[in-house]
Structure 1
Amino acid sequence: MSKIMDLNGVSDETSNRRIYVGNIDHRISEATLLKMFSPYGKIESEDFLLHTRGPKRGEPRGFAFVQYSTKEEARLAKEKMHGRLACGRPLVIRLASEKSAAETAENSSKVAGVVSRSTHSGSSSGQMSRSAKIAAIKNKLKLLEEDGNRAKKQKQVEHISS
């Protein structure tokens, strides 16, 4: 029997044991996060996401994923920790499998650039179709390429002018 994988390569079975932890204050460390969530079950893994580029490189991104050994432990952690204040901020907890369709589409369009409503699929979920996502990514790449070419031309003009 093959496992069904989501777009991030996480199986349905795993996503039922994995929780999303959002709205994490930047002062909360990876170790603190583990201490906060360990009372609810055995933590098999966690992904504490950090910025990989730019001025915030190495700083926390404000969200993480924690995977428990059972889906019951994950549900208990969600129930007990959702809305709980940590450094004055209410934590947002949900099962990874419950990630909203609207948020998925929103994040996809942020990655792919601005996407018009006409590129969304006709489904009521609001998720973008695969072909719409591909088209949006191609458009974003084209814009980036054009910006790069403009910058090169500007440098050439500046060089010639000097």
Structure 2
Amino acid sequence: MDLNRFIDEKSESRLYIGNLDLRITEAALIKMFSPFGKVVSEDFLWHTRGPKRGEPRGFAFIQYSTKEEARLAKEKMHGRLACGRPLVVRLASEKYMVESAEHSSKGVSEPTKVSTAGSNSGQLSRSAKIAAIKNKLKTLEEEGSSAKKQKHEDSIS
């Protein structure tokens, strides 16, 4: 048995589920994801220290028996509302690819979504927020100067 193939198969059948409302329990999560295949394991993450100790961290991992089941669950559950919040569902391996691609790019021209283990999924990173604000200001300045030019041209004619 090829160990690398086994690891690849396992990572492709493991889902990252983020943006979980704190009211969602482990049992509710398993119940939501069971219709798509056999759930082999589930890792529901909790704060282990600090003032939030014992509270859910807002994300979990679910392992299916096959990658096809995981892909089906991802397709059906990504963006679906649970307690009023859209779920973020990705293959666990995709999460790390997205994360490393973002860290390797130095320049930020438009906002990028970041989902690291310690932050809430779906929120923009600090640098992405700053870049978005700069882009917005630049756009507003350009719109303002073109409106002034147009007004000036209209007054001349």
**Normalization by structure 2: what TM-score?**
0.60
Q: Which residue identity does 2:40 align to in structure 1?
A: E
1:27 aligns with 2:29: no
Whole-Å separation in 2 of the counterparts to 1:104 and 1:57 = 29
1:46 aligns with 2:27: no
Q: Which residue identity does 2:12 align to in structure 1?
A: N
Q: Describe the superposition over 1:30-75 as per-residue Cα deviations: whole angstroms up to 9, x where unpaired.
A: 0000000000000000100001110111111000000001111000
- Cα offset for 1:2? 4.2
Structure 1 runs of 4+ aligned residues shifted over 3 Å read none
Q: Which residue identity does 1:3 align to in structure 2?
A: L
Aligned mate of 2:78, from 77, 82, 88: 82
User: Secondary structure, in 3 states, of the residue corresponding to 2:52?
Assistant: coil
Percent of aligned positions with the same letter in both sequences?
Answer: 73
Q: Describe the superposition over 1:71-130 as per-residue Cα deviations: whole angstroms up to 9, x where unpaired.
A: 110000000000000011000001112124352477xx8xxxxxxx6xxxxxxxxxxxxx
Aligned mate of 2:89, from 74, 90, 93: 93
Whole-Å separation in 1 of the counterparts to 2:98 and 2:33 = 27
Aligned length: 104
- Cα offset for 1:29? 0.4
Whole-Å separation in 1 of the counterparts to 2:100 and 2:44 = 19
Aligned mate of 1:12, from 8, 13, 18: 8
User: Secondary structure, in 3 states, of the residue corresponding to 1:94?
Assistant: strand
- Cα offset for 1:11? 2.0
Aligned mate of 2:32, from 36, 40, 43: 36
Higher alpha-carbon Rg = 2
Q: Which residue identity does 1:38 align to in structure 2?
A: S
Whole-Å separation in 2 of the counterparts to 1:50 and 1:85 = 21
Question: Which residues of structure 2 form unaligned runs of 5+?
Answer: 107-157
Question: Which residues of structure 1 form unaligned runs of 5+?
Answer: 110-116, 118-162
Whole-Å separation in 2 of the counterparts to 1:20 and 1:102 = 12
